[in-house]
Amino acid sequence: MPANKRPRRLNYAVNKKGPVAGTKVQNAIGHYKKLQKREAFEGKTKWIENAFKVVEAKLKKYWIHPNRI
């Protein structure tokens, strides 16, 4: 195998939602729920708004709609 080829056995599922992805989907859902609780306690802060943008991007990547959580 030439030295410039990437190793194919080290495939980490970045965009997949299936069993190869492990617990990434559950972690994204848990993060979203935790942010909802924190928003209910603290109110809308700039930090929480930015955190929601990051988590919603993760959920969109895994094709999970936030209304179904």
Residues 3-15, mean pLDDT to the nearest whole number? 67
- Taking residues 23-32, report their average pLDDT: 92
> How many separate domains does the chain show?
1
H-helix segments, the chain: 24-42, 46-61
* pLDDT (tens digit per residue) in 28-58: 999 999 999 999 999 999 999 999 999 999 9
Q: Exposed, middle or buried: residue 14 (CB in 10 Å: 0-12, 13-18, 19+)?
A: exposed
Q: Which domain holds residue 48?
A: 20-68
Asked if residue 46 is part of any domain, the answer here is yes
In a domain, residue 15? The reply is: no
pTM: 0.73
Residue 10 banded pLDDT, cuts 50, 70, 90: low
Position 22 scores a pLDDT of: 77
Is 35 in contact with 59 (CB distance < 8 Å)? Answer: no
Dihedral Cα 55, 60, 66, 69, nearest 10 deg: -90
64 located within any domain: yes
Domain-located, residue 14:
no
Q: Return the pLDDT at 21.
A: 72
Is 12 contained in some domain? no
In a domain, 8, yes or no: no
